[in-house]
Amino acid sequence: MRHLTVKLLALAGCLFITVAPAWAQQFDWGGTLDSATNLRADPDRDEAEFEQGLRSALWAELFAEFREERRLRITGEGSYRFTYDQQGNTDPEHVLNLDMLRLRSRFPLLFGPGTAFELTAGRFGFADPTGYIWNHPGDGLQVDLRFLRWRLRLAGAYTGLLLNSVSDIRMTDTDILEEDDTDETFGPRRAIASAQLEFPELIGRQTASLFSVLQFDLRDAATDESTLNTQYFGANAEGPIEPVRGLYYNLFGVLGVGTLDPAGADEADITSGVYGGALRLFRREWRYSRIAAEWVHASGGDALDVFVPINAPATGFAFSPPLQDLMRPSLSYSLRPFADSPDAVAASFRSQLAARGYFRSTTEEDAAFDAQNGARYAGAETELELVLRPTADLGLAFTNAVFFPNDDLFDDGDPWYRGRFELSVAF
């Protein structure tokens, strides 16, 4: 079945290449070369180690506009990725991947004035409004219905055709075991459906949305593999805080329920949650200053079960524990200190300073933190990011982070360090 699907996808690709240029009114293409050099020092390594990643990608886009401003856009991107890390002196990893093959059509005024209908199909990125449940590519379909007072988004995706090495879906112990298994060509098979109902500017300029994500594990539960089916139900509110110019807030809460069928153990029901919020202040006249205070709490070890997102969002830079049994407040400030400079290169420079704290709900044994016992406070991380984007085709970034662990929780109390230098060229 899977081979047949791959062949059908390849056939669709060939048809696209031969037929599409006939109707396309615009065509553009380009590429990127990205290099990322990491230096890490943490308890997983005996000494500081380098990791080098290179990614080269080619993209192409076809665009056509028909009567009544109906638009069709097809975008494809393929990449080659090379990664080498010193850990374990393993061979370099080479990955050839189809990152995106997306057809997006837009039909304005389809249901009357102020309405629009959008259809997106193929391989592209899916996400929920919070980004904490799933924010991952998949193969599927997304429909957007836009009316003046509400917007509805329905999406369905399958993740079993993504390469194992690029898939970040690691929800069960079976998923994690397969992560480095070179015999597994494709990543964990999941069918994911989502619905999102948004009410833009419901009261004043406040926007509220309700959403649901349903995740079905397509592994055979009768085998010795663990399966986990989950459903998430959430609400999100965001908008400006009117008395203060440039100040915005965001609040969300998600309830997650599901059924875990572990290999060789009894089935268990799961009830979990994640909630949080953010305040962001943007002032262009203060050299493009952005100040953000964020807070997120994912359940685990307390009244609720461990929260399991579909893919693990990054929770830090040097230290990035899974979003499970975690309370993470963070504060960041970014600005362009030379924004007023007549020199375009200097003006493009941006710096950001961030600080994060990590707390857990339990003092017991905790797999998420790889800690035996100890305190609720796990540690704090500081991060400095320097970004230079002097031209449209060149970008440089240098990110440095130090995590200061709590000695009561981690055996080795030495700070963790991660530095990354990125160079990006577009053509």
Question: Can you tell me the distance from the alpha carbon of 82 to that of 392, in angstroms, rounded to the nearest whole number?
Answer: 24
- Displacement of CA 392 from its chain's centroid (Å): 24
| Token representation of residue 24 | 């396309």
Shorter beta-carbon distance to another protein: residue 113 or 342:
342
**Least distance (Å) between residue 147 CB and another protein:** 23
Shorter beta-carbon distance to another protein: residue 69 or 370:
69
**Least distance (Å) between residue 402 CB and another protein:** 33
Shorter beta-carbon distance to another protein: residue 106 or 297:
106
Cβ-based burial of 49 (10 A; exposed 0-12, middle 13-18, buried ≥19): middle
* DSSP annotation string for 311-376: SPPP--SS----SSSEEEEEEEEEE-TTTT-SSHHHHT-EEEEEEEEEE-S-SS-BTTTTB-S--S
Question: Can you tell me the distance from the alpha carbon of 58 to that of 77, in angstroms, rounded to the nearest whole number?
Answer: 6
**Least distance (Å) between residue 393 CB and another protein:** 4
Shorter beta-carbon distance to another protein: residue 74 or 308:
74
For 63-96, letters b (16+ CB in 10 Å) and e give ebeeeeeeebbbbbbbbebebebeeeeeeeeeee
**Least distance (Å) between residue 131 CB and another protein:** 26
Shorter beta-carbon distance to another protein: residue 264 or 342:
342
Shorter beta-carbon distance to another protein: residue 64 or 384:
64
337-341, Cβ contacts within 8 angstroms, sequence gap of 24 or more: 337/287, 338/287, 339/287, 339/288, 340/287
Neighbours of 291 (CB within 10 A): 17
Contact 158, 140 (CB under 8 A): yes
Shorter beta-carbon distance to another protein: residue 271 or 391:
391
Binding site for another protein (CB under 8 A): 25-28, 63, 340, 342, 344, 391-394, 425-427
Shorter beta-carbon distance to another protein: residue 26 or 223:
26
Q: What is the DSSP letter of 416?
A: E
Amino acid identity of residue 305, one-letter, is D
Shorter beta-carbon distance to another protein: residue 45 or 284:
284
**Least distance (Å) between residue 390 CB and another protein:** 9
**Least distance (Å) between residue 205 CB and another protein:** 14
Question: Can you tell me the distance from the alpha carbon of 419 to that of 414, in angstroms, rounded to the nearest whole number?
Answer: 16
**Least distance (Å) between residue 426 CB and another protein:** 8
**Least distance (Å) between residue 60 CB and another protein:** 12
For 303-312, letters b (16+ CB in 10 Å) and e give ebbbbbbbbb
**Least distance (Å) between residue 348 CB and another protein:** 9
Neighbours of 60 (CB within 10 A): 17
